[in-house]
Structure 1
Amino acid sequence: MPAGDAVSPRLNSGVSGAVSWLKKRPLGLLLPLLTLPLVAAVVAITLHFGGYHQDPQFVPGEYAHGSQIRQALLEEKLVPPPPLPPSAFVDAVAEKPQLALDKADRDWSRMDPVFVQDVLRVMERMKARGFPMVLLEGYRSAERQNKLAGGSVKVTQAKGGESKHQYGLAADLAPVRNGKVVISERDPWAMQAYNALGEEAQAAGLTWGGVWSFRDYGHIERAGSLRALLAQRNKK
């Protein structure tokens, strides 16, 4: 008998036995066995093609701005530093009497609270760079603005109501060395401080007066036109 003929009866017997076994088993017991290969196939296909379902528009870097906003919201609210004694301003007042710094308003509460936080963070970064700063003037009345604009020595080109100082959206800062306010641009260290102030202010999205044709190195303000800023404020 050929070898293939010898195997056939055994094969037929095995198949018949399997069929008989399946007929004796309830369908509920067979379902897990029947579905297992199908589940395995689905998992394999999903793993194989999973890479093709990624959103092609997703770029992690595009979410950096949103992350920065969330970080800003989580940042601790800064508190204005205690005021310096009048003696700290004596040299500055004598250096530029046309500024009448002895009459300047340094009350942080009269300034826009959001802008105050921007200024305080700039001051914090300036201190870290070795340039502690002080607020020379924040809010400025329209009357004082007109006096500064109309003085014999030109201090500002903006008249009353035209400066962001009148709306708490501008600040004049100066570096402090050994407890004294230094405002002279002829002082190399002070000029380094003003240039650093420009870098930090611009990095914070603020406008620095040092880039204007009429240089105002210690001046920083909220960016944007005054009209647009006031319109935005009125919508709130």
Structure 2
Amino acid sequence: MILLIVFLVLMWIGWRFFVYVPRVEAVSDESKINGIGCVAATKNKRKVAVSVLPNPPADGFSIKPSPFKSKKLKRLLLPLASLCLVLLVVGVTLHFNSLHVIAPFLPKEYSQVAHIQGTFTEAKLEPPPALPPEVFISAAAIAARPGIATADRDWSKLDPQFVQVVLQIMKKMKERGYPMVLLEGYRSPERQDGLATQATVVTKAKGGQSKHQYGLAVDLAPMKDGKIIISERDKWAFEAYQALGEEAVAAGLTWGGVWSFKDYGHIEKAGSLAALVRSK
């Protein structure tokens, strides 16, 4: 709307000052007296038509055309004037561009509002029902993770926000064809010390040094044909663990498969343990 008004104003200025020329000419009084010029008055007294002989008397006079009446000059000045006005309007607009920012929709505030709305609108995922202990009892499972049959798989002992991230990952893994189950969530300091000192190396962290003790880490394993496959030596299970790593990193978590001591089924909240404990 503003640009249309500016355009119309520019058109009127160009027509009024550079195109429009009143049809008024004059001859000397002597020419009128001698009958050299013939003047005819119209109904509108403001407009006068004059016809003059080709050779007016020497003592007569006529109004010479103004430089602005020159066609070439008009064609030159009109676009120049219009361009100057357009540049002026553009310059003023750019100078005051900060006035066009809508305060309630600044990026930072908008992201916060979107996050709040998403929190209320997005339904929370519910943990899957607990599997019977016998599912975890097998020679392969016991050899890979001693005490796995009695490990704690209570989702309520984990950090609620962390639980939602893990459940989202498990949902995506199932969609990719790799259903996952929770092997172990919370781990007591005593169990952590027992795993750190046993012959089969499962972890190098002692009690209080693992995020399992703070509900910020879980161990997952793929399940195929009703059986849990923990060993990464199985080709299908290895592919599942690689997919788990991709989803964990995409969700902003840390995957144990990138450590020097490989723990392919382990995912945890990113950041140092001390900083995470202080923020709780």
Smaller-chain TM-score bracket: 0.7 to 0.9
* 1:18-54 Cα shifts (integer Å, max 9, x gaps): xxxxxxxxxxxxxxxxxxxxxxxxxxx9xx8697565
- Asked whether 1:174 is paired with 2:210, we answer no
2:198 counterpart of 1:151: yes
SS in 2 for 1:155: coil
Identity %: 54
* Cα offsets for 1:192-235 (capped at 9, x unmatched): 110000000010000000000000000000100000001000xx
Distance 2:268 2:101 in 1: 37
**Distance between the aligned counterparts of 1:227 and 1:94, measured in 2?**
32
Deviation of the 1:107 alpha carbon: 0.4
Q: Which has the higher helix share?
A: 1
Question: Which one-letter code corresponds to 1:6 in the other structure?
Answer: T
Deviation at 1:72, TM superposition (A): 4.6
The correspondence of residues 116-131 of structure 1 with structure 2, limited to 5 A, is 116-131=163-178
Relative contact order, higher structure (CA 8 A, sep 6+): 1
Query: What letter matches 1:75 in structure 2?
Result: E
TM-score by length of 2: 0.62
CA distance in 2, matches of 1:163, 1:110: 15
Of the three residues 151, 161, 171, the one matched with 1:114 is: 161
| 2:52 maps to 1:6 | no
Seen in structure 2, the aligned counterparts of structure 1 residues 79 and 11 have a Cα distance that, compared at 3 Å, is: same
Q: Does 1:100 align with 2:147?
A: yes
Pair 1:163–1:124, CA change in 2 (3 A): same
Stretch deviating more after TM superposition (68-77 or 117-126): 68-77
Q: Residue type matched to 2:181 in 1?
A: V
Letter matched to residue 227 of structure 1: A
Q: What secondary structure sits across from 1:189 in the alignment?
A: helix
Corresponding residue for residue 63 of structure 2: none
Question: Shift of the alpha carbon at 1:156?
Answer: 0.6
Q: CA shift at 1:110, angstroms?
A: 0.7
SS at match of 1:139: coil
When residues 175 and 54 of structure 1 are mapped into structure 2, their CA distance, relative to the original with a 3 A threshold, is: farther
Q: Does 1:207 align with 2:265?
A: no
Q: How does 1:8-23 map to 2 (within 5 A)?
A: 8-9=44-45
Q: What is the number of residues matched between the two proteins?
A: 195
CA distance in 2 between partners of 1:157 and 1:71 (Å)? 42
> Equivalents in 2 of 1:57, 1:181: separation in Å?
56
In structure 2, the gaps of 5 or more residues are: 1-37, 49-85
Structure 1 unmatched ranges of 5 or more: 13-44
- Residues 1:51 and 1:130: Cα distance change in structure 2 (over 3 Å): farther
Alpha-carbon RMSD = 3.0
| 8 A contact 1:122–1:201 mirrored in 2 | yes
Q: Deviations over 1:86-142 (max 9, x none)?
A: 23212353442x532012100001111111111101101111111110000000000
Q: Compute the TM-score of the two structures, normalised by the length of structure 1.
A: 0.73
